[in-house]
Structure 1
């Protein structure tokens, strides 16, 4: 009897018995070693390939005669409402298209509901695929809708009509969350975000050690916690509360829109780079730096067509290359010495306008080279979405990161945007899997655009805490930037504060408790109990060591704790 013929608890019991408690394979004959059944090829042709043309095993299947982009092998499967699944397949393109840099390939899941409505989920994607890529693994994950489903179909789509491709080793399996994730992230935080402060105390022989207190208090965080800044608001003289909030609670910032190329064109037409609307951005950067914050540049170019300046869209060939080069050189010159990072080519997985316009697949690499040549100091980043909060682009981002690193174009890190959908509860186990995957590139990862969405502020507080713990508790993450932390009311989907009054919401209070209480060090030790040699495990950052004798502060000294342990010598005097 098939699983589909069963129902209720007996069906679930059979699934667990068949697939095991931790993983359940939904697809049948995913390696095609038993022919093509139960795979379907509606409106086009499929044929078995032998072992010489398969990725693994005795067979793969080839799709050909495709007349629509959405045509690809498909199979119905049974999902459980609310469960998380991982899908993957090996894929190889068999022909290219004339005049194209490559084609998109996607793993897709279609849900058909009892009322005959549909929901289509992009599970995994990879752009600009060609025959030269050979066999590659495409992988992603999805969550089944939390309601009854009439049918669920897994299928391939993406390449234009006429492109043939082979697939092998297809799999859709349930993945489970690690109930121990909190302890594991806490262990990473204690190991990676802290170091030892070895305190050596010298004091007179006749001193009353029970009257000596040594307070080790952190005054500034070393780990980068930052936020997007609305430059229009930041430079407004009436927005002192806004500026104070940013300066008080963050040590990094990013001007959200002020440095984007099209932003200049929206507000001031110009004939040359010297006419750009830059004063507001410069004032914002200067104010942030004066307040002691470090600043990220976001972004130099954006390959998604809708975000490209209209004048630039009219260019091609050498004129386009010259315009981009002039933009980079001018911008790098006026920002020289003020920015720590630059997002170079924003969301290049989801748009390749410059590459396609110039018919140059490697132009994205050239952008990094030009920026480094214009100013070698700022660290240069990729930056993309659906790579951690969701996983549709994780495997594509892995391939892109490896390509950039191997090309030696001065890529210093990869930005992972971390935009969670409305009412999407962050899954720490899923976040860790995605970060583990991307960490194999071997460069730092920054959570560049973190936000969660729920109309209920207490739910939002739970969501943001889970996301923060998962990110801060992963060793590859070297910085976290909040993207949308201010809203128009306490029920704003993304807000940590109420816009205008800057009053903290429940989510805001939760965040500041983590950043300024739980993840900051403040310990007081009585000398008679601690002894003359003791160790404090402290978070990285700046510190003040206060010597208090008989209730009065006798002296203090400052030091910085980094990744290496620090020894602090303290002298206690026999007087107040």
Structure 2
């Protein structure tokens, strides 16, 4: 009986794998509604307006945003899936998004919801748009999985769906820790070749060479609270932590327009300037975040109450003043934050290419500072990756001064960073041919050790990808972190390291730094050190005493060090 049960289970598993290898949706072309459900009171009916074939599904009469056509599918836990459909908005509404979401019910009856694909700030004038993305099924036993289509924030709009598809991603090799370590070794390290000559009478067993990395060249940084930083008497430890452990910094929201000019014509640049000068004096480089932010909730009321003509002039004046104030102090500027998802200025001016104008203006004002796009859900999740890629290609082709793509990485609580999915999304984004920076990294977990695991998983996946040129945490102290104490690396007035902080610093300052000693009696006159990129100090000891000391920098090219040791 046991053997028969085992065989039956194997047959069922083979059948399940075979089913998920192909198309998982039934009636994805919407020639019929077989397999589809439509939650009451929404109405899902076939219509002759279609993307292809004879029909699509028309969705109207919704009372809640999630109400739309949905279907149960069978997925394998922990696997990566591709999802796409053609969707069409029928009523314009500000910041309306067309979305494909996935709801997972686990065997313990808990639920996980994942945004799988989206088209943001949709317009009726666009007609049919291709909504596509990817998602990873939870690494937990699944009871059921439902794919559903929605449009939000307004439930009153109607939309159509056609040519929907869900398939398991094929030919995807799971990314292991071993693979990431190999990538880190390949892309973050170079060889240091030592050729040592010893004079007559110098015995190898009396010569020791210490190779010590004193500074890393890869940017590891964090945002920080400019007000707390400037309060030197109360928060010296806060300053000290930033200076000691990071080489890049972002004055969090001190450069946001709503901070600088909350009330019209009442400017405050000094808080940001004091903090920027402070970190620069300690050798840190600084990112500017951000000149403009098109999310309506971050636009000051006084801007909303002036005419579009006047507003256009005001935006231009703000960018000119701010960039002149910060000239020579910043390496990067995020020009207009999160414009993939929010387009308040574009909508106010009825100009979908307004952001190109902002980039051109910023590049003319300061052609030396690097201008960035910056957005979310392009690496942590896959619902906006392809749209971000298209946006970057558009800006690069327009020759408006685009220098980089900022990928925010705010991992939701309960979501373990998936190295395989992260690699797939970064691989896609890298095809734009634009440098990628992780501009806002954080995870959330109540348990400090779990938080440490999450940070390590994220950092290894991101640092191990060759397209990533810098990683910035979006805060580290529990008393100032925007996501609260459960995202922090340090806690309390004394900035005590949490388990997550200890893990992160072990990666930054131990595992990903080079510190080696070589005795010539064991290594011989010629040996190699595989070192992380950065600044180095070499000390040659003869008979236990320092004999030679010098410094050099290691970059992408191998270095050869010639040494002569005299008695």
Q: Which of residues 304, 311, 314 is equivalent to 1:320?
A: 311
What corresponds to 1:554 in structure 2? 547
Cα distance between partner residues in 1 of 2:549 and 2:259: 48
Kindly state the Cα deviation for residue 17 of structure 1 after the two structures are TM-superposed.
Answer: 2.3
Cα distance between partner residues in 2 of 1:430 and 1:279: 42
| Shift in CA distance, 150/367, structure 1 to aligned 2, threshold 3 Å | same
Structure 1 stretch 233-242 or stretch 17-26: which is displaced more? Answer: 17-26
Contact 2:256/2:291, CA 8 A, preserved across alignment: yes
- CA RMSD of superposed structures (Å): 3.4
What corresponds to 2:25 in structure 1? 27
What corresponds to 1:344 in structure 2? 335
SS at match of 2:315: helix
Within the alignment, does 1:362 sit opposite 2:353 as a pair? Answer: yes
Kindly state the Cα deviation for residue 12 of structure 1 after the two structures are TM-superposed.
Answer: 8.7
Contact 2:36/2:69, CA 8 A, preserved across alignment: yes
Cα distance between partner residues in 1 of 2:412 and 2:246: 24
| Shift in CA distance, 12/492, structure 1 to aligned 2, threshold 3 Å | farther
CA deviation vs aligned residue, 1:299-347 (integer Å, no higher than 9, x gap): 1111101111221122232211111111100010010000001111111
Within the alignment, does 1:246 sit opposite 2:242 as a pair? Answer: yes
| Shift in CA distance, 90/22, structure 1 to aligned 2, threshold 3 Å | closer
| Shift in CA distance, 518/83, structure 1 to aligned 2, threshold 3 Å | closer
1:9-408 paired onto structure 2 within 5 Å: 14-20=12-18, 23=21, 25-31=23-29, 36-39=33-36, 43-47=43-47, 54=52, 59=53, 61-64=55-58, 66-68=60-62, 70=65, 74-79=69-74, 83=78, 86-91=81-86, 93=88, 104-110=97-103, 121-129=114-122, 136-141=130-135, 143=137, 152-157=146-151, 165=160, 167-173=162-168, 180-238=175-233, 239-266=235-262, 269-271=263-265, 275-408=266-399
| Shift in CA distance, 116/516, structure 1 to aligned 2, threshold 3 Å | closer
Cα distance between partner residues in 1 of 2:455 and 2:471: 12
Q: Which of residues 487, 491, 496 is equivalent to 1:498?
A: 491
What corresponds to 2:513 in structure 1? 520
Kindly state the Cα deviation for residue 30 of structure 1 after the two structures are TM-superposed.
Answer: 3.1
Cα distance between partner residues in 2 of 1:148 and 1:196: 47
CA deviation vs aligned residue, 1:153-183 (integer Å, no higher than 9, x gap): 4335459877664521511548999665111
Contact 1:89/1:167, CA 8 A, preserved across alignment: no
Q: Which of residues 402, 419, 422 is equivalent to 1:411?
A: 402
Kindly state the Cα deviation for residue 82 of structure 1 after the two structures are TM-superposed.
Answer: 5.8
Kindly state the Cα deviation for residue 484 of structure 1 after the two structures are TM-superposed.
Answer: 2.5
Contact 2:20/2:168, CA 8 A, preserved across alignment: no
SS at match of 2:43: coil
SS at match of 1:389: coil
| Shift in CA distance, 336/36, structure 1 to aligned 2, threshold 3 Å | same
Kindly state the Cα deviation for residue 40 of structure 1 after the two structures are TM-superposed.
Answer: 5.2
SS at match of 2:201: coil
Kindly state the Cα deviation for residue 8 of structure 1 after the two structures are TM-superposed.
Answer: 13
Within the alignment, does 1:535 sit opposite 2:528 as a pair? Answer: yes
What corresponds to 1:468 in structure 2? 459
Cα distance between partner residues in 2 of 1:118 and 1:198: 55
Kindly state the Cα deviation for residue 293 of structure 1 after the two structures are TM-superposed.
Answer: 0.3
Contact 2:136/2:421, CA 8 A, preserved across alignment: no
| Shift in CA distance, 151/218, structure 1 to aligned 2, threshold 3 Å | closer
Kindly state the Cα deviation for residue 103 of structure 1 after the two structures are TM-superposed.
Answer: 5.7
Q: Which runs of 5+ in 2 are unaligned?
A: none
Kindly state the Cα deviation for residue 563 of structure 1 after the two structures are TM-superposed.
Answer: 0.9
SS at match of 1:367: helix
| Shift in CA distance, 424/527, structure 1 to aligned 2, threshold 3 Å | same
Contact 1:103/1:160, CA 8 A, preserved across alignment: no
Contact 1:84/1:176, CA 8 A, preserved across alignment: no
What corresponds to 2:437 in structure 1? 446
Q: How many residues are aligned here?
A: 554
What corresponds to 1:3 in structure 2? none
SS at match of 2:317: helix
Q: TM-score, normalised by structure 1?
A: 0.87
Contact 1:25/1:174, CA 8 A, preserved across alignment: no
Cα distance between partner residues in 1 of 2:379 and 2:464: 14
Contact 1:81/1:146, CA 8 A, preserved across alignment: no
Cα distance between partner residues in 2 of 1:369 and 1:170: 39
Cα distance between partner residues in 2 of 1:468 and 1:474: 10
Q: Which runs of 5+ in 1 are unaligned?
A: 1-6
CA deviation vs aligned residue, 1:359-394 (integer Å, no higher than 9, x gap): 100011111111111111111111111121222222
Kindly state the Cα deviation for residue 141 of structure 1 after the two structures are TM-superposed.
Answer: 1.6
Contact 2:96/2:151, CA 8 A, preserved across alignment: no
CA deviation vs aligned residue, 1:466-497 (integer Å, no higher than 9, x gap): 11100001111110011121114999301111
SS at match of 1:524: strand
Contact 1:87/1:173, CA 8 A, preserved across alignment: yes
What corresponds to 1:477 in structure 2? 468
Kindly state the Cα deviation for residue 396 of structure 1 after the two structures are TM-superposed.
Answer: 2.1
SS at match of 1:152: strand
Contact 1:111/1:153, CA 8 A, preserved across alignment: no
